[in-house]
Structures are given as C-alpha cells and as structure tokens.
Structure 1
Amino acid sequence: MAMMASALALALSAPLALVAAPAHAATAAPATPPQGRGDYRALNAVWQEFLAWRDARPAAGLPDFTPQTIARQNLELNALMARVEDMNVASFSRAEQADWLAVRSKMAQQMFWLQVSKPFSRDPGYYVDQMLYPPMTELPVSGADKDRLQARLKMIPLIAEQGKRTLTEAAADYADLALYNLENADGVGHNHPWRPVPPAGVIGWFDDMAVRAKEKQPELIPEIMAARAAAIQFRDWLKANRPKMTAKAGIGEARYNWYLKNVKLLPYNTDQLYVLGARESQRLWSIHALEEHRNRKQPPLLPAATKEDYDRRKADTKAAITKWLTDEEIITIPADIGNLYVNVPWIERQGGRNFWEEVQYRDPTPDLLHATVPGHAFDGAMGKRDTHPIRSRIGDGVRAEGWGVYLEEAAQKLGFLADRPRTRELIDIFGIFRAVRVAGDIDLQLNRKGVKEIVEEWRQMTPWLDENVARVDAEIYLRRPPGYGIGYTVGMIEMQKLLADVRFQEGDKFELKRFHDRVMTIGRIPMSLIRYDMTGRDDEVKHFWRMDPLPPA
C-alpha cells in the first residue's frame, strides 16, 4: 500500500501554494431574517406549489427545452421565489427559519439548473443516460411492465432527435464522456446487471437485449432495433459535431462560490475547501503510515476467495455492526427497520478487482458502516418515516455523504475495530479517496484540469484506485451540480463540528445515542441548518438570509 513518492510530494505540497481567502459569506455585512408578510403556513403552501411545478411531467412526449419554455419557467420560478422572500421570517421559530432557508436553497438550486447547469443544452450525456437503462430490463415482461418498456423504447429515437436539436452549447468534456459511454462499458457497472463480459456501453446493451429478446420475447425486436439505431445515429452525430463542441464543462469560480453559499449553505469558498481537502489528505496519510507501522507484524488481510466466503463475511459483519451499535448505545436501531441493502456484489472481473472490491472483499466493514448501517440504507429508511411537510422532501448531498464518512472514523474511535488492525487501514484508505476528491471536484468545476488529469492524480494518491472507478467518479462530480465531490469529506467535517458544538453545549449531560438519534430525525437538510436548529448558533446562517445575485458567466 505504499504511496508513490511523487504523489506524496503532491499531497504534502498542496497547501504551500494556497492562501485561504476570506469566506464568501464574510465579504458582505450579514443580513437579518426577512420581515415580509407571509407566515409559516404560507411558506408550506408555496413549497407544495414549487414541488408540483418542479416535478410536473408532460402527459405524453418529451419535456420541452425550447428557449421560450425555459424563459417561461424562469419567470414562473422567479414568481415563486418572490413569494418566499416576502415572508415574515423574523417571527418564525428557529426550526421554521431553518425550513425557510432550506426551501429557498432548493429553489435556488432549480434556478441554477435552468440558468447555469443546463444539461439539456450543454451535456450530451443527459440524453445518453436516458438511453442506458431500458435495454437492461430483464425479459420477458408482461402486462403493465411490457407497456412501460415498449413506451420507453419508443421514446429513445425521440430523445436522440431532441438532443440533436437542443445541444446548442455542448461542452467538450461532456461530449467526450457521452461518446465513451455510448461505446464502452464503464468498468464499474453501478446498478448494471452482471455479465461476464460487460456490454460495450449503451449500444452494447441494446445488442445484449436483442439477443435475449430473440430467445425470450421476439415481438420486442423491432422496437429494440429502432432504439439501437437511434443510439448509433446519435453517436455518429456527436462524432461529426464534436469539433464544434468547445465549451468548458466547469462553471467557474464565481458561480461555484455562489452555489456553495446560496444552495449548499456552506460557510466556505473554494480556496478554503481546497485547503481543507489537502489537510485531510495529509492527516489521513499520516495516520495510515502510523497504523501500517503499528500493524507491521500482523498478517495481511486477504480478499474473499469465493462468493460464499464473501456472503458470509457480509452477513457476519452486518450482524456484528448492528449488535455493537445497540450494545454500546450509539444509535437506536428500530426493530422494524427491515433488511438493509449492501453495496458491492460479488464479481469476478476479467481485469481483476476494482477499488471498492479490493477493500470490501477483504473486510466489508468500511462500506457497510458507510452505505448500510447506520449509513445510507439505514439513513434512507429512517428518512422515509419523516412526515414533515417540508423536510421530508429535502435531501442534501453534504449531509448524506458526510454522515456516511463520519461513521467510518467514528467506528475506529469508538473501538469497534480494536481487534482488527488491518481493517483500520482500510478505513484510512476509504478516507483518503474521499479527501482527494475535494480538490478534484473544485479543479474540474473551475476548469483547471480535465477528467484524465484528475484520474491520474487520484490514482497516484489513493491505494488500489483503478482507472475505471476514478473515471466514473470524476464524471459524476463534473456532470452533477457542483459540490457533490466535496460532500464526503466536508460533510464529515461538518458532522464533527456539530458533534463538538452539541457536546460543549450539553456538557456532562451529553449522550452520544441521543445526539445520533436527533440527527436521524431532524431531516436531511443542509448541515448548517441542522447545526442552527440543534444548537441555536447563528454564526453561519446569519450570512445566508440574503441571497446573492447569480454571477455572470
């Protein structure tokens, strides 16, 4: 697991070239909560109207992305946002004020999607994504399932034609990623059915479906082949027009900082986040070095040799984690929580294990903590119990991923891995990959580096990281709204900040189980709002009352 010397030098030298700038929130005098006319019931009413407006789908056919429709949608959204601004937020309770900020942040996110992200005109992958999953459908299908599949297959030629009309400002990186995904397996296969040889991208999946349909449901072949032809035509159109697709995929520093403050409600700018990410990379590599020395006489952890061995490890680990969480009074596990999913299925890849499999097949603990219990699967199941009219409909990537990463190191500190030293090394490796994403996310969105450069850097700095996992993650963070890649490490930092604040505030009355249970039930809103709601500290939220104008491109 030794890291290359050049990568170590890169990680250690990163902060030396950086000087933290003042946080964007500190550049203007803090505002105060609005003192308009609407009450809290009015906030909930406009929130429900917004959800219905945002989630509306055409009764038939495709969404309309013509300039006239986008202009109309912007006007409609502006009207909803004006009503939110005209609220007497100063008279709201603290929790209601947090709700108001959360509602406005979601409206700001939608405004950003319409005016900046614009995947319908900038990202060919927006259309490629819609082609990918229909051909993965298990055959045969019947009844309503067959009707839905046929409708989706018939839509694919329309989707391809819409992309050709609408992609008027396609970005170079987006176009290259779309072409890759049309013709190549991504090598990771998130939620893809298993094949010994993965089909070659979207087009390959249509070939796979045609073979299956010939044997199991031949009446679908005409629709499958028409969809396949549309995907090929879209690929050919992309290749022919690729020289004209020269726009930058990233949104730039000013708009990234705007998004951090007004949508993510984070108290940091890109310079500060860059330093936080570099510091975490250093910290984790340093403790990993110490852990490796401490464990130098321990036998290595060997990956599971068979599916049966791996399934046993998963089941035993899941049971052990659940029992430990209960016995040590760390969090409440409801008796009716149900069977929680486990990531990373058993796969024997032609090219060998990928990054997640290198870790998970040795010991499932890191990912089960992060993604199963009490991580994402448990978190999601608890979220479904939320009946709050506002918070039950809000999610935040920093909160979700930060909770998962926080749990990994928390388990180390709480002694769960006291007798498994080599597993503690795996936790470090997970953390390292989260931390290096911070700089990668920022560099991609600020157009400092492209996907290939980020993949190379991540692989230098992260043990076992393979090209496919690195490329897929870089694509996710470039193509999603900004700030998802930072969410893992920064969310963990925000969780640690919250824990510290509540511990200091409650003193000797503090109970870890009560704290974690409160986090589970307070909602999946941005971390700064959870902190405000739980502690009353307004040093962060006082900078969020006034929304900034969206910077020009």
Structure 2
Amino acid sequence: MINPISIIFRLGFIFILAFLLAVPAHAGPPSGRGSYDDLQTLFSEIIQWSPYSGASTEPDFRSAAIEARRAELAEFQAALADMNVAAWPRERQVDWLAVRAHLDKQDFILHVTRPWARDPAFFVLELIEPTFVELPASGADLDALRTHLRSVPRLLAQARETLTEAAADHADLALFLLDNSDGVENGYPDRAVAPQGAIGWHRDLLERAGAQPQLRADIEAAIAALEGYRDWLAAERPRMTAEAGVGEQMLDWYIANVMMMPYSSAEVVSLAQRELDRLWGFYAMERHRNRGLPELMLPGSAVEYEARIAETDASIRDWLVENDFITIPEHIPENWREMGFNVPFVTRDTPPNFWEQVQYRAPSPDHFHAVIPGHRFDDRLTRRLENPIRANLRFDGRWQGWAVYLEEGPLQAGYFDDRGRERELIYIFGIWRAARSLGDVWNQRNEMNAEETVDYWMSATPMLDRAVARKYARLRPAPGHGLEYTMGNLQMWKLLGDRRRQLGDDFDLRRFHDSFMQRGQLPISLIRWEMTGLDDEVSRLWDREPLPGRE
C-alpha cells in the first residue's frame, strides 16, 4: 500500500526541484578574450572621453553629437564585456565591475536623464565659475577665459534647439539662477554684495575688465546671450511641464547597478526613515542631557572663527593618533590652511546658512567629514594610489558614506565625550542626511516636486534654511546625490561589523580604516567583497539586467 505521506513528500520534492531549476543561477564573471592589461588600456581611453561631448573641445549636445557619443559608449561596453574576468583574482574583478558601473552611469545620462534635453539649468550652472578668474589674466588663464566667453552664445543657442522635454522644476531653477544668488555660494570669491546669478557674475567680470579692455566685447556678448536665454526661457516656460524625476524603475536600476548599493528605492525609504527617527530621538536626548550647558555661539569675526578651526584641527589630529583611529601619512600637510576647509567666514545681510550655522559654532563635525580624515584627506590618499583605475574613479556612495561615517563614528569612539553641544550638531547633520535621502527618493520617483521637497526638508531639519534646501533639491545629471550620504554610511557600519565578527579579538580599528582607504573610492559593496570575501552583495552584479528600454 502506497503511503500518502510519502507521495506528498515526493511531490513536494519534485516541485521544489523544478522551482530551483527554473530560477537561473547567477552568471559568473565573463570569460572573454581581454586581459587585465587590456582593461587598464581601455580605462585610459575612457577617462580621456569627456563627460558629454566626445573628443570635441567645445560641448555639443545636438542630436548628431549625442548619437556619436552613444555609439562610442557602445564600443567601450562591448570591449569591456569581451574580457576574461573569470580568470582574474578578486581585486581585479572588483576593478572590472567598477569600470562597468562607470560606463553604466554614462549610459544612464545619455539615455535617461539627458540634461541637455530636460534641464535648462544644466546650461547655466557651469557658466558661473569661469568668471571667478582674477584680472588681468594671462597665459592659460586668459586662453580659458576667452574660450569660455566665446562659447556662451553658441552653447545657449544650442540649448534652444535641444531642450525639447524640459522639466518644470528645472526651468524654474534655471530662471532663478540666471538672476539670483543661490544663497550658499560655497567656493565663490568674496564680494561685499554677492553678484546675482550667472548674469550678475558676468557683469562683475565686466566691471573688473578695465585692466583688460580687449575682453569687454566678448564679455558683453556673453551677457547678451545670457539675457536672451533668460527671456527665451520665460516665454517658453508654459510648455516646459515634464516631470523632473526618473521614476521608480529607473531609480532602482541606477541604485543597484551604478551606485552598486544592495537596496531598492523602497528599502532606502525604510532605512532612511528609521535613521531619521533614531537621530531625532538621539537629538532630543542630547538636548536634555546638555540642558545645563551654555549654547554654542556664532563667532564675532573671521579671526575668532579661524582660531576655532585651528584649535579643532590640532585637537582632531592628536585624537586620531592617540586613539589609533587611522594613520596620518607624512605627505598630509600639517598646516590646516594648506588642507583647507569648507565654509569661509562671510558677512551678509541674511543670517548664516545651514552649513555656516553649524561650522561657525563648532568646526569639528564638518572637519571630520570634509578635511581630516574626510574628503580632503581621502582625495590626497586616492591620488597617490598606484592603480590607475582606483586613482581616477570616485563613486559618491563611498565618498560621502565614509565622510558621514566620520561624524557619528568619532562620537561613538569618544572624541565628543566632553563636547556635549557639539554632539548635538553631529545629530543635526545626521538628521539632514536622512531627510535628504527620503526627499531624494520621493523627488526622483515624482512623488514630490522640488518645492514640496524643500518644504519637507525644512520641516524635518533643525537650522536648515531655504537657500541650502533649494540648492540640494536640484537633480544632478544623474540621481542619487541625496541618498548616497545615509546609505553609504549604513554600508560603512555594516562593513565595520562584518570585519569585527570575522577577526574577533584580532580586529584593529586603525588597521581596518587604513585597509579601507587603500582601496580607493569604489562602491562600498565592492570594497566589502574585497576585504571580507563576502559576495552576497556582489554575486547579483554579474548578470545585471540591462538599462530598461536598452535590451
């Protein structure tokens, strides 16, 4: 007699086996013809390939140039796919995946975001910085200025031809930036009264051109072109109604394949909301804990502010060494002025912006993040890497993830133990990062427009001002800039925990940080695989789906 339980068991086993056979296994690395030397040669060609315009010395965003650009990209992608990656050691496979992600980003820009067709501000933002040149100019500076001035009329004439799908948010931002200061102006030259927008900065250049009158005609022509572009945008604004975001499907593809993060946009929302809630709770507790301490005050002068920076720099360097947090190589400048800092002392009619409100009160949060051992330290180490791929690639999830980790990381390691009010600023920074992640996703999925995103950020973040919020509500040529801070930070903490579990009592924090920094600014998922051997975040990358619509 047949046992019915046995039949059920066998049928269940057959069903499970059929299911497993129907689910494709992850493809492995490609087994083509190219060597690792071929990868390095190909990469050297890729980095000579300018971001949007091929080999042209002047940007060209018209249809023929873009199609040529797409064809060049396809050739790079085909050459990359024909390499014997399966035979390479892990660290070289990591390099290959990083180069592929770099090309995928260019693919995304060329086929999805297409800023020359969708973003009127794309043609404005790059026109301000060339006007910062000191006059009289000579040599290469003079040549670059002339090239810039003479390209402005041609570039803005192109814009009228190529902006066929302009987004409403981008058009409004472009109109604002042509005639208005963004209110943040990081890295801009000091002026008693800030020039107003791209047009204002070109007028500022014209006022300074008395020392080089031969430039006046080119400057006047550039101003006329900018004013004409503004008037054209204002007239065309009613037809510029497209959505600014890329949509959920495209955003998910970008996060997975370009940023190489192991999250969907829905998971980013869940994780960022959890971080926002946690950090607001910690901020509330910290404010209660410090209720008897005096508030941190804004400095009264540039001299007082710079003294705060000097003290902070010395204190942080000493702490990093004494606490075996990270190695400071001999090539890192000892002078804080040579290393630089993010926020200069500015006097204006309006109150200090968000970054100034934090940095002026206590430079430590941003000094860890942006100076040492953050961005400036990070870049100096990366530029000295012998591997040309890693010395020339930057993935912002790694770049910003490391820098945000350096805010709460030193807090947990003890630097802020006797700096209660400064701990509050660490939590405010973290709140802003988490809120930005949420707003970035909602904006990219077209669930919030730019103004609604700004309103949300203002409601979620202490000290935030509208100028800073508006600046970050703008989409870059590719998405993800808002979410990379918090998500990269979470990846850093995961890597730290993974490595501690693996090594047990042999784990050493300084060696961990030094090892991490030696691997460049590649996606943290790739660095994690290289450092730990854990491939759960990487195995899916070998058979990644092509960009939707590009099968």
Q: Please report the TM-score for the alignment, with normalisation by the length of structure 1.
A: 0.92
Q: Distance in 2 between matches of 1:209 and 1:76?
A: 38
1:132 CA drift (Å) = 1.4
Q: Who is 2:328 aligned against? A: 333
Specify the code of the residue in structure 2 equivalent to 1:135.
Answer: T
Answer with 129-138 or 310-319: which moved more: 129-138
Q: Who is 2:10 aligned against? A: none
> Does the 8 Å CA contact 1:531/1:537 hold for their aligned counterparts?
yes
> Does the 8 Å CA contact 1:131/1:231 hold for their aligned counterparts?
no
Specify the code of the residue in structure 2 equivalent to 1:425.
Answer: E
Once the two structures are superposed, the pairs formed by residues 108-123 of structure 1 within 5 Å of their partners are 108-123=104-119
> Does the 8 Å CA contact 1:383/1:521 hold for their aligned counterparts?
yes
Structure 2: runs of 5 or more not aligned: 1-22
* 1:260 matches 2:255: yes
Secondary structure of the residue aligned to 1:390 is helix
Q: Who is 1:435 aligned against? A: 434
- Paired residue for 1:306, among 273, 289, 301? 301
Once the two structures are superposed, the pairs formed by residues 43-54 of structure 1 within 5 Å of their partners are 43-54=39-50
Residues 450-480 of structure 1 show CA distances to partners (whole Å, capped at 9, x for unaligned) of 11111111111111100001110111xx234
* 1:225 matches 2:224: no
Alpha-carbon distance change, 282 to 59 in structure 1, aligned in 2, over 3 angstroms: closer
* 1:479 matches 2:476: yes
Specify the code of the residue in structure 2 equivalent to 1:527.
Answer: I
* 1:102 matches 2:98: yes
Q: Distance in 2 between matches of 1:207 and 1:236?
A: 17
- Paired residue for 2:178, among 168, 178, 182? 182
Alpha-carbon distance change, 222 to 460 in structure 1, aligned in 2, over 3 angstroms: same
Q: Who is 2:393 aligned against? A: 394
Alpha-carbon distance change, 151 to 73 in structure 1, aligned in 2, over 3 angstroms: closer
* 1:365 matches 2:364: yes
Q: Who is 2:419 aligned against? A: 420
1:235 CA drift (Å) = 0.6
Q: Who is 1:81 aligned against? A: 77
Q: Distance in 1 between matches of 2:60 and 2:151?
A: 14
- Paired residue for 1:145, among 141, 144, 148? 141
Structure 1: runs of 5 or more not aligned: 1-26
* 1:531 matches 2:535: no
Residues 58-92 of structure 1 show CA distances to partners (whole Å, capped at 9, x for unaligned) of 77763332323322322232222122222222221
Q: Distance in 1 between matches of 2:195 and 2:403?
A: 32
Q: Distance in 1 between matches of 2:55 and 2:31?
A: 40
Q: Distance in 1 between matches of 2:202 and 2:81?
A: 49
User: Looking at CA atoms only, which structure, 1 or 2, has the larger radius of gyration?
Assistant: 2
1:349 CA drift (Å) = 2.0
Q: How many residues were matched structurally?
A: 524
1:291 CA drift (Å) = 0.9
Q: Distance in 1 between matches of 2:155 and 2:75?
A: 30
Residues 244-293 of structure 1 show CA distances to partners (whole Å, capped at 9, x for unaligned) of 11111111010111111111111100100000110000010111111111
Alpha-carbon distance change, 60 to 441 in structure 1, aligned in 2, over 3 angstroms: closer
Q: Distance in 1 between matches of 2:139 and 2:260?
A: 46
Q: Who is 1:352 aligned against? A: 351
> Does the 8 Å CA contact 2:325/2:509 hold for their aligned counterparts?
yes
Q: Who is 1:6 aligned against? A: none
* 1:93 matches 2:105: no
Q: Who is 1:515 aligned against? A: 512
* 1:292 matches 2:291: no
> Does the 8 Å CA contact 1:182/1:231 hold for their aligned counterparts?
yes
1:57 CA drift (Å) = 6.4
* 1:172 matches 2:171: no
Q: Distance in 2 between matches of 1:135 and 1:434?
A: 32
> Does the 8 Å CA contact 1:98/1:533 hold for their aligned counterparts?
yes
Q: Distance in 2 between matches of 1:42 and 1:325?
A: 40
* 1:208 matches 2:204: yes
Q: Distance in 1 between matches of 2:294 and 2:300?
A: 17
> Does the 8 Å CA contact 1:174/1:479 hold for their aligned counterparts?
no
Answer with 354-363 or 148-157: which moved more: 148-157
Q: Who is 2:20 aligned against? A: none
Secondary structure of the residue aligned to 1:519 is helix
- Paired residue for 1:488, among 465, 485, 488? 485
1:326 CA drift (Å) = 0.9
Alpha-carbon distance change, 445 to 308 in structure 1, aligned in 2, over 3 angstroms: same
* 1:31 matches 2:27: yes
Residues 462-520 of structure 1 show CA distances to partners (whole Å, capped at 9, x for unaligned) of 11100001110111xx2341111101111110000111111111111111011111111
> Does the 8 Å CA contact 1:369/1:375 hold for their aligned counterparts?
yes
> Does the 8 Å CA contact 1:304/1:361 hold for their aligned counterparts?
yes
Once the two structures are superposed, the pairs formed by residues 375-414 of structure 1 within 5 Å of their partners are 375-414=374-413
> Does the 8 Å CA contact 1:261/1:268 hold for their aligned counterparts?
yes
> Does the 8 Å CA contact 2:53/2:65 hold for their aligned counterparts?
no
> Does the 8 Å CA contact 1:125/1:175 hold for their aligned counterparts?
yes
Q: Who is 1:540 aligned against? A: 537
Q: Distance in 1 between matches of 2:163 and 2:52?
A: 22
1:319 CA drift (Å) = 0.9
Q: Please report the TM-score for the alignment, with normalisation by the length of structure 2.
A: 0.92
- The alignment yields a C-alpha RMSD, in angstroms, of 1.7
> Does the 8 Å CA contact 1:402/1:487 hold for their aligned counterparts?
yes
> Does the 8 Å CA contact 2:382/2:390 hold for their aligned counterparts?
no
Q: Who is 1:69 aligned against? A: 65
Q: Who is 2:233 aligned against? A: 238
1:28 CA drift (Å) = 7.2
Q: Larger relative CO (CA 8 A, sep 6+): 1 or 2?
A: 1
1:175 CA drift (Å) = 1.0
> Does the 8 Å CA contact 2:53/2:61 hold for their aligned counterparts?
no
Q: Distance in 1 between matches of 2:209 and 2:68?
A: 43
Residues 182-218 of structure 1 show CA distances to partners (whole Å, capped at 9, x for unaligned) of 011000012211222211111111222222223x333
Answer with 380-389 or 311-320: which moved more: 380-389
Residues 74-122 of structure 1 show CA distances to partners (whole Å, capped at 9, x for unaligned) of 2232222122222222221111111111111111111111111111221
> Does the 8 Å CA contact 2:488/2:524 hold for their aligned counterparts?
yes
Q: Distance in 2 between matches of 1:35 and 1:265?
A: 22
> Does the 8 Å CA contact 2:115/2:477 hold for their aligned counterparts?
no
Secondary structure of the residue aligned to 1:62 is coil
1:434 CA drift (Å) = 0.6
Specify the code of the residue in structure 2 equivalent to 1:298.
Answer: L
Secondary structure of the residue aligned to 1:479 is coil
> Does the 8 Å CA contact 2:53/2:69 hold for their aligned counterparts?
no
Specify the code of the residue in structure 1 equivalent to 2:531.
Answer: M
Alpha-carbon distance change, 307 to 54 in structure 1, aligned in 2, over 3 angstroms: closer
Q: Who is 2:267 aligned against? A: 272
Q: Distance in 1 between matches of 2:56 and 2:389?
A: 29
Once the two structures are superposed, the pairs formed by residues 434-473 of structure 1 within 5 Å of their partners are 434-473=433-472
Q: Distance in 2 between matches of 1:292 and 1:260?
A: 35
> Does the 8 Å CA contact 1:400/1:524 hold for their aligned counterparts?
yes
